[in-house]
Amino acid sequence: MFSFIGDVSAAIASSYNYDGGGAAAAAFWAIYAIFIFVFAVGGYVLSALFLMKIFEKAGVEGKWRAWVPYYNLMIFFKLGDVSPWLVFASLLTWIPVLGWLVGIGFAIVAVLAAWRVGLKLQKDSVWVILYVFLSLVWLGINAFDKSRWNPNIAPASWANNGFLADRTVWQGIPVQPRPAAGPGYGAPQGYGAPQQGYAPPAPQGYAPPAQPGYAPPAQPGYAPGAPPAAPSAPPAAPQVPPAPPAAPPAAPQTPPTDPTQPPA
């Protein structure tokens, strides 16, 4: 590396006919090149270290994935619910005019991926502003704070259609939950599906009219209650015991006349 920088310095110095000003300019550009090189290497090492910690939170297998150029960014896009193949769009930035537009689009897609990754790391949406201006600081905070990975958040609006949708399945990288299509025509993707164990409440004070010969279908796991039992008969009146027999007539006080005696 230093021999290459020395050759560059020598070439720049020769263009100035070895005068003092040319030598000073060559030395300046050599130092500047070294600084840029060291800064780029240090930034890449830090970003790879932070991505490795974020991948561990997300359940990605293999720490080496965070150190491979382009591949680590593809995994970051995939964790952010964005197609990882859009990373290769950055290779088109060298094209005049078109490359400028591609670069803006690529930056927007990277911000969308960071926004989704931040939501899964329990960060509010406003945190993506920090990623826009200081992406390395954003990565460091999410890498070493106490946040935990939660993929069960509301699905992205592009999750089921569009060129942003992620449909890749890679070994060692957890598959993110995908929303189910809503029932019926025109229902939003991922929303409107009936929730398990939920039934809408019936309108108050309204009962549908009964139709002859129609019985509502029985619901699984539900048995109608038995009709109330008929009221029991009132208890019978208690029986009155019979009256005791009447007392025998009293004996006459005057003894009866002897029939053999003549009347007086």
Band (pLDDT 50/70/90 cuts) for residue 263 is low
Name the DSSP letter for residue 179.
P
Least trusted range by pLDDT, from 26-35, 141-150, 249-258: 249-258
| pLDDT computed for residue 22 by the predictor | 74
Separation in Å, CA 174 to CA 37, 55, 57, 164, 167: 35, 10, 11, 18, 13
Band (pLDDT 50/70/90 cuts) for residue 58 is very high
pTM of the model: 0.60
Name the DSSP letter for residue 262.
P
Which tokens belong to 244? 């005791």
Q: What contacts 136, CB < 8 A, 6 or more positions away?
A: 43, 46, 47, 50
| pLDDT computed for residue 196 by the predictor | 44
> Which of 38, 6, 37, 9 lies closest to 25 in space, CA to CA?
9
CA atoms within 13 A on the CB side of 112: 22
| pLDDT computed for residue 233 by the predictor | 60
Which tokens belong to 13? 């110095």
Q: What mean pLDDT do residues 93-100 have?
A: 88
